[in-house]
Amino acid sequence: MTSTARQNPLIRFAKRLALTALIATAVIVPARAYVLTPYRVMGDSVAPELHSGTLAFVYRLTSDFHTGDIVAYRHGENTYLGRCESITSDALQLSRKDETATVPRSAIIGRVILSTR
């Protein structure tokens, strides 16, 4: 066998690792940006379900919300979490601590589907 036919096992491993990393990046980056986005909870606005410091994963592709769901929404430059109190075709009534707000559907990012402590 020639030296080109027998590659060093370390080189083969490095090539496989690079290909695996490239494929994983091609799948994970779009999924994180457009499907499932993590947010760190700052404050106890939706306690007791999510406490400050919790990592909440928001499913961005949903448009079906129910009373009691915790959703993420944009207000200005900030992202907030709120609990659905009532739902209409063009807005959601959300509660945070002791206050309520009507948030248009265009400001809703998605529904929290998973959280970690």
CATH number, domain at 67? 2.10.109.10
Grouping H, G, I as helix, E, B as strand and the rest as coil, residue 93 is: strand
Residues 26 and 65 in one domain: no
* pLDDT tens sequence across 62-115: 889 999 999 999 999 999 999 999 999 999 999 988 889 999 999 999 999 988
Residues 45 and 29 in one domain: no
Residues 66 and 52 in one domain: yes
> How many degrees, rounded to 5, is the angle at CA 96 between CA 63 and CA 105?
25
d(CA 40, CA 80): 10
* pLDDT tens sequence across 20-46: 999 999 999 988 888 999 999 998 888
Residues 6 and 44 in one domain: no
Residues 44 and 71 in one domain: yes
> Domain span at residue 7?
1-34
The tokens for 34 are 């457009």
Residues 70 and 86 in one domain: yes
Residues 58 and 30 in one domain: no
Strands, E, within 45-98: which ranges? 55-59, 70-75, 78-87, 91-96
Share of the chain residues as helix, strand and coil, in percent rounded to the nearest 5:
25, 40, 35
